[in-house]
Amino acid sequence: MKSNMKRLSSYTLIATALLGLAACNRGDGNFDATGTFEATEILVSSEANGKIMELNIEEGDRLDAGAMVGYIDSTQLYLKKMQLSAGLRSVDIRKPDIRKQIAALEQQIATARTEQQRMENLVKAKAGNQKQVDDIVNNIKYLQKQLDAQYSTLNKTTGGADAEAESILYQIMQLDDQLQKSRIVTPQAGTVLVKYAEPGEVMAAGKPLYKIADTDLLYLRAYITADQLSTLKQGQTVRVFADYGVDEQREYPGTITWISDKSEFTPKGIQTKDERANLVYAIKIAVKNDGYLKIGQYGETVFE
């Protein structure tokens, strides 16, 4: 009778061990670290001051990178740009036409040189006198000085106009930048998590408009002990389990993308393999989302 009782007790222990092993294989309770899922979140803020004219988003919307979802009133900026553009045209009109301004003097100098050549020929032929040639030469020098002075004045006037036009162009470029920032553009693809503003509200630069996150790739932020630290490295593949209820779990492949260099106290609500450990190291495990994973959801990981 005692022999049968011992045999039954042995069978019971073996069965219990097998059930425990099966539970471990399902990931139930046999974890190396736990944590919560998070995503890379971006807080999109206003880059301009003014009233929101459009903001075509709702929480839960999926947005593409670079998508324009609204704009802030930019009427005054546009009118200022038009005013500067008109001023730029005015500067261009006021610029002197150097070639036309000096054409008369150049013609006088050319005519005087022709007369000089003619008089020199007459002097050689004993039909003219040297004084007439000298008078023409002095007149050419005088005309050349007038030409040089006028050319210098016109160059300075043109240079001043060019500098004024350049200044206006920079102001127009500044306005173009401000007009561009009046457009509300999504910086990356993702899902709208929170919407902070509505059309009609007056915004100030830096005020949040909405929060977006890439939910296609989530990260399980888990915590490990110092003993586990030596067995892990970035790029290592691990098994990740997400909890969907009391008895339901899904398994996902994960990749360690970050391991903290500093230890910290175990966060409240986080379990580690060694519950006696007070100091732990945070790690991030990238997990491709199949549509079921949610930000803030609890998860577990088993190291390969």
CB 83, CB 187: distance < 8 Å: no
Rounded-to-integer distance, Cα 129 and Cα 14, Å? 140
- The secondary element (H helix, E strand) that includes residue 243 is strand 237-243
Which residues of the chain are under the pLDDT cut of 70?
Answer: 1-29, 245-246, 266, 268-277
Alpha helix stretches (DSSP H) within the chain: 2-25, 75-94, 98-124, 130-181, 226-229
Q: Tens of pLDDT along 193-241?
A: 999 999 999 999 999 999 999 999 999 999 998 888 888 999 999 999 9
Long-range Cβ pairs for the range 279-283 (8 Å, 24+): 279/225, 279/226, 280/223, 280/224, 280/225, 281/223, 281/224, 281/225, 281/226, 281/229, 282/221, 282/222, 282/223, 283/33, 283/221, 283/222, 283/223, 283/224, 283/232, 283/256, 283/258, 283/259
Q: Phi then psi for 257, rounded to 5 degrees?
A: -110, -15
| The predicted structure's pLDDT at residue 131 | 87
| The predicted structure's pLDDT at residue 121 | 87
| The predicted structure's pLDDT at residue 20 | 34
This prediction has a pTM of: 0.67
